[in-house]
Amino acid sequence: MGTSDVLVGVDGSQSSWRALRWATTEARRRGSRLRIVAAYRTPWQPAGFGGGVDVDAIALSRAEELVDEMTRMARGAAPAIVVDGLTVCGSPVQVLDAAATDGSLIVVGSRGHGDFASLLLGATSLQLATHAGAPVVVVRGNAEADAGPVIVGADGSPGAEPAVGLAFDEAASRGCTVMAVRAFQVPVPRFGQHVEPVDFDGARLRAAELASLRNVIGPWREKYPHVPVQPLVVRGDAASVLVAMSSAAQLVVVGTRGHGGFTGLLLGSVGQKLLHHAHCPVLIGR
């Protein structure tokens, strides 16, 4: 693993505390610096109210108190790593993206309050998932799982390639298996979507997809020879397959875009379903 930063966005919500615990464990595994980042905004006050109260100073003080408390917690849990805090006035997406350096990992909770309100349901989460320059982990589901594989959606598209590499990297640090998954569906004939084409050969299609999948993961197997790998080709909807499998996983890794069963990943129904329903943390590769 590298020594790049692990950044965790916090707002004091229960979800951000869970994200902090996950990020602390991840930074300890990586031997990386942990940066605890709180983005805050000055509360708006109508004219004539507030008197001489310095709302900017109050907002900053509250953010600093939160970061100090979380920093103490992280240092106690992982005394061997460097932990520092950052408080910045601004939007969470812009602040976290600006704080990330080459190789950084951004970690956020699945729900929050304040600037992180409804993290997976509003603009903040979608912007982080689709536009952040660094990989993003959304901590949800069973965030404390330390058994099971790292699952990666691998459809062979350019967007999936970095996700496969991240999955092997994560599995190497965790000492677990990579499960590389490809979903396929039956071609829809003109005469009805519930009727399989007469010439459809499911076994042949599955074999072809498996051969392609093995080609995709082959270079990563050579780079990580000690990481066990299980390629898996499944007939079905990609999002439903990954969500179901996530219940027995430590982490699910996906790319930003795909094709075939992974079309529109993170911008359409597949990515949104994963972010809403996965049973473990989701890592969005870049």
The model's pTM? 0.85
CB 238 within 8 A of CB 247: no
Quote the CA–CA distance of 192 and 126 in Å, as a whole number: 35
Mind listing the domains of the chain with CATH numbers?
6-44+56-139 (3.40.50.620), 150-284 (3.40.50.12370)
- Residue 138: what are its φ and ψ, rounded to 5°? -100, 115
Quote the pLDDT of residue 123. Answer: 59
Pairing relation of β-strands 282-284 and 136-139?
antiparallel
Q: Exposure pattern of 2-29 as b/e (b: 16+ CB <10 Å)? A: eebbbbbbbbbbebbbbbbbbbbbbbbb
Average pLDDT, 10 consecutive residues per value, the chain (286 residues): 79 90 95 94 61 74 94 96 94 89 88 46 64 86 90 82 92 96 76 57 85 94 96 91 94 73 47 83 87
What per-residue confidence (pLDDT) applies to 270?
A: 64
Residue 61 tokens, joined:
């003080």
Angle at 128 between CA 181 and CA 256, to 5 degrees: 30
SS3 2: coil
